[in-house]
Structure 1
Amino acid sequence: MTFAPEWLALREKADAEARSTELVEVVRATLVNRNPLTIRDLGCGTGSMGRWLAGRLGGVQHWVLHDRDPRLLELAEASMSELKDVTVETREGDLTSLNAAELEGADLVTCSALLDLLTTNEMNALAVACVEAHVPALFTLSVAGRIEFDPAEPLDAAFQDAFNAHQRRVVDGRRLLGPDAPAAAEEAFVAAGASVRTAQSPWRLDADSLLGEWLKGWVGAAVEQEPARAAEASEYLRRRSTASAVVHHVDLLAIPAKS
């Protein structure tokens, strides 16, 4: 699955405002004596995680950007190469096969809005890889499956349930975690022997362009999952576009036990 650069650009400000800075402070304390830092960003998109995190970590950094979309990798490399004290390399391909040996030498593994696209087995394997490589993981903006509209209305729950079911769908024989990703990630890292901290990282959207685009995708996925919703979707979308919304996400920091 790939994403349009235009969508990633539209959501970048909301992502930046939502991510937990408290977890970043813990990362900084964990990596305090490491310089330069080597950071592997999984599913990097256009590099928004790097643009948000690099300045907060400080010091000299080398980012290894992973994505399956060469177009996004090119954009990410170009933008992140402009950051002070940051060097960049890219890796194109399927990140679900990463193992501990490939993560050796990294000081931090990151991702943003990625875990819902993994399966339970892939999440477990990623956690094991990070822990066996003794590398902390900062995984941000995992969807939590919960939306709060203001004002609320009765149809909100029906569309939310349909969307969540769509996120848990089977794609090419893989059942996606969807909104179960935050709990699955925490369970996987704890089982692998890491200490885990989580933080809420909600989007807070008003009637703007991001809300409009997000709503179209949210309602569209719900209707794809439950076609019977199609008859009420257009009017529901019109009403919701003038509301405000809190779209809940979870950030997770996993730190392997010292060997």
Structure 2
Amino acid sequence: MTGEFSTDWLTLREPADAAARATDLPALVRSGAVVRDLGCGTGSMARWLAPRLPGPQHWILQDRDPALLAYAAQHGPAAAADGSPVTVETAEGDVAGLTAADLEGVSLVTCSALLDLFTVDEVAALADVCVASGTPALFTLSVVGEVTFDPPHPLDAEVAAAFNEHQRRETGGRRLLGPEAVGAAAEAFAKAGASVTTRPSPWRLGPAHAELTAEWLRGWVAAAADQRPELRTDDFLATRLGQLEAGALRVTVGHQDLFAQKD
């Protein structure tokens, strides 16, 4: 798997992530007794979901970054929805190539903002192992390639298209799904014999999210410029950051959440 994320960035985005996730999907979870969180980062998914599920829970936090795992272990959720205890353990390693042995005794598989880093074959393999083991999956905040600015700018569509191309790039011999991730996952789970429910989960960023918006905007534009250097992204970025500083910029960043379980 590719992708490196800092504790600072993941902490900065956590409130927006929490506000965006679809709140009705946790109600579809039959049991959260043992949850395996793929690409857990700082543990934000556990902190959001554990208080929404009743009963004692044990979370297996999996990530390739030992520093993130250490942070997640130290900042785990305090209690379940009914006050039951929540415990955590960490598992260092790549989240691609999940096996039936990894899911033995697991009640739910989760991930957040991760599927776009998978390939179509990796998503299909993940769906197959989840359905074969009877393990439901809740995957949140997958990008869908939709960004809307208020006010608009003439380069919005071109920069967005370049960013989406960057998300679909080939790296290390792997072709990433990027904004096609949710569609590919829904198709793979359905083919494997699961029922699938999706919900929109957009970030809605305004003046109250200036720091997050600035960091996101810089990264978004940098990826677009890397993909299409001929775009005049310096002027675009300067204009957008000026509007943000003036409190005059609002951005909606599209994501989708997905819940799948065997019929």
Q: Same fold (TM over 0.5)?
A: yes
Q: 1:233 to 1:152 in 2, by over 3 A?
A: closer
User: In proportion to residue count, which structure has more helix?
Assistant: 1
Unaligned residue ranges in structure 2 (runs of 5+): none
Q: 2:260 aligns with which of 235, 254, 259?
A: 254
Q: Retained in 2: the 8 A contact 1:216–1:237?
A: no
Contact 1:109 1:138 in 2 (8 A): yes
Where does residue 45 of structure 2 map in the other structure? 49
Residues 227, 240 of structure 1: CA spacing in aligned structure 2 closer, same or farther, 3 A cutoff?
Answer: farther
After alignment, is 94-103 or 171-180 more displaced? 94-103
1:233–1:176 CA distance, 2 compared to 1 (3 A) = same
Deviation of residue 239 (structure 1)? 4.9
Residues 1:150 and 2:150 are matched in the alignment = yes
**Whole-angstrom distance in 1 between the partners of 2:200 and 2:243:** 23
CA RMSD of aligned residues (A): 1.4
Cα drift, residue 195 of structure 1: 0.2
Amino acid of the structure 2 residue aligned with 1:50: A
Partner SS state of residue 106, structure 2: coil
Give me the TM-score of the superposition, normalised by structure 1: 0.93
Q: How does 1:3-18 map to 2 (within 5 A)?
A: 3-18=5-20
- Which stretches of structure 1, 4 residues or longer, exceed 6 Å deviation after superposition? none
SS in structure 2 of the partner of residue 44 of structure 1: coil
Partner of residue 107, structure 1: 107
Name the stretch that deviates more: 135-144 or 91-100: 91-100
Q: Does the 8 A contact of 1:101 with 1:133 survive in 2?
A: no
Percent of aligned pairs sharing the same letter:
54
**Aligned pair partner of 1:235 in 238, 241, 260:** 238
What is the aligned partner in structure 1 of residue 88 from structure 2? 88
Question: Does the 8 A contact of 1:168 with 1:179 survive in 2?
Answer: yes
The 5-angstrom pairing of residues 17-166 of structure 1 reads 17-27=19-29, 30-31=30-31, 37-80=33-76, 82-83=78-79, 85-166=85-166
* 1:185-209 Cα shifts (integer Å, max 9, x gaps): 1001001110000000000001311
Question: Aligned partner of 1:41: which letter?
Answer: D
AA matched with 2:123:
M
Matched, 1:211 2:207: no
* Counterpart Cα distance in 2 of 1:115 and 1:9: 19
Distance 1:214 1:223, change over 3 A: same
Q: CA deviation at 1:82?
A: 4.7
How far apart, CA to CA, are the structure 2 residues paired with 1:106 and 1:240?
47
